[in-house]
Amino acid sequence: MRIEPDSIRLSGEGSLQLQLYQALRQPLLSGLWPSGALLPSSRVLASELQLSRNTVNAALAQLVAEGYLQGQPGRGYCIITQLPDAYFQASHVANSQGLPASANTNSNTKPHASAEMLRQTATPFKTGLLEPGVPDLSAFPYRIWQRLLQRHATRPLLGVGGDTLGYLPLRQALSLYLQQSRQVHCTEQQILITAGAQQGLYVAAMLVAARGDKVLMESPGYGRLRQALQLQDLAIGYLDAAGPYGVTAEDLAAQQDCKALFLTPGHQYPMGGIMPLSQRLAILQWAQQQGCWLVEDDYDSEFQFKHRPVASLQGLAQGQGVIFVGSFSKTMLPALRLGYLVAPTALIQRAAAIVQAIHGDVPLLTQAALADFISEGHFSRHLRKMRKLYQQKQQLAQQLASQYLPDWQLHALHAGLHLVLRCPAAMQSSFDGLKLQQRLAAAGFAPALLSKYQFAGETSAGFVIGIANISPADLERGLQLIAAICGAAPQDLA
């Protein structure tokens, strides 16, 4: 079967490349085009739709990268993915409000933690060169941001609390942005503005599980998520996420009675795996069969360097059974403390009530400025600029790491603001991370130990280094120092 070009219609909204991408992707998701069907050639598409060949080829390349299409020499592009209807048609989902079949949504448990656990988690925040998670602070458009803040600074209504979901114009701008950039299925009434992604993850945990329930998370993974789950006395199971795709459906086959799975499919943190479409579909199917919530932490999907981000789990599932969490810490400034949570309608008011109970209103002034920053196009321009800058820094970091640490394994190569350095097998047993970290800190460098992210008994040693908020000269100096210290005799590290 060959798809006729007259069945492809552009929406008229967004860039031409995005319109074509969505016009091709939607029939695949809805099952209108079967597996094995051939698309018109790029030449025919360009001619019929009055688009440039570059625009058409870019949209097709993205669909190939996401696993929908396969290029066949002499034949064009073939549809290769058979998509289960249950994921994408809300009318086929038993609970029309987006809840998994056996989800527990009535948890009123009170968070509890032992004094010892609190002592372990109350570590001070430290800054330094090579620290992961920090964007390039010098490249932020401060003048524009200051102007937007001043625009709203004298508005009396922003000095008090407002809608418990957050500032409506920000939620409207964010809804449109998420639909276009991550194919998130939502309206502004399903978005809750939070004081950072950390609060969003904590709220999500309270929504989907009660004390003692079993939940799953990645290892290596995000330590502050683990703290949030521990504070609620949840039984945490760990899934190996060190592979090229992060968590795999095969690892989930033996898991039973799980209330939620927390994962970073867009760019696994910190190892960098990018989950392909086939794995996303398989995990969605497993979650639906188990009645298990998925909590998708989309912490830095804007900064992928090979192709556009693969569609979010939330979007693939049409919002059913998935809670989507994101923030502006990586894209703008960590100190803004602005994040968001996207949840099904049945849960969003409870999520807002939790934020009111533990925090109160998120400040409206920064929300108003951010709404204008997005709607006036400053955000998209900033992202384009930073994506190019971070790609250059990532390439430089890989080049320097290969030069000064040639025997070390590199991970997280294709996206994000960090690079993972795993030391050689011969060095694993003698790797004294704390001493190495102290030596680096004395010179002003603060890379994180890979062991900080390992929760399931892994023994792989190395560093997670931030490559965004550092000059090329300091980056080279830091990697030279790591090479010099790790190459020193053991007695020199005493």
- pLDDT for res 174: 96
Measuring CA to CA, which residue among 312, 28, 20, 21 is closest to residue 182? 312
**How far separated are the first and last CA of the chain, in Å rounded?**
70
- pLDDT for res 189: 97
Q: Judging by DSSP bridges, how do beta strands 418-422 and 409-411 pair with one another?
A: antiparallel
Q: Which amino acid is at 23?
A: A
- pLDDT for res 428: 86
Measuring CA to CA, which residue among 438, 452, 445 is closest to residue 493? 438
CA distances from 125 to 135, 202, 465 (A): 16, 19, 16
Residue 33 has which token pair?
């085009």
Phi/psi of residue 36, nearest 5 degrees: 95, -15
Q: Length of the chain in residues, anyone?
A: 494
Measuring CA to CA, which residue among 290, 281, 219, 212 is closest to residue 255? 290
Q: How confident is the model at residue 393 (pLDDT cuts 50, 70, 90)?
A: very high
- Does pLDDT of 191 surpass 70? yes
In this prediction, residues 466-491 reach a mean pLDDT of 86
pLDDT tens sequence across 410-448: 999 999 999 999 999 888 888 898 899 999 999 999 999
Range in 36-40, 92-96, 283-287, 478-482 the model is least confident about: 92-96
Residue 116 has which token pair?
């010892």
- Does pLDDT of 179 surpass 50? yes
What whole-number percentage of the chain has pLDDT above 90?
A: 62
- pLDDT for res 81: 59
Q: How confident is the model at residue 61 (pLDDT cuts 50, 70, 90)?
A: confident
Residue 297 forms beta bridges with which residues? 325
Residue 217 forms beta bridges with which residues? 238
- pLDDT for res 98: 54
pLDDT tens sequence across 79-105: 875 554 444 444 333 344 455 554 444
Q: What contacts 10, CB < 8 A, 6 or more positions away?
A: 16, 19, 20, 23, 49
- pLDDT for res 457: 82
pLDDT tens sequence across 317-357: 999 999 999 999 999 999 999 999 999 999 999 999 999 99
Residue 341 forms beta bridges with which residues? 192, 325
In this prediction, residues 294-303 reach a mean pLDDT of 93
pLDDT tens sequence across 14-49: 788 888 888 888 887 766 777 778 888 888 888 888
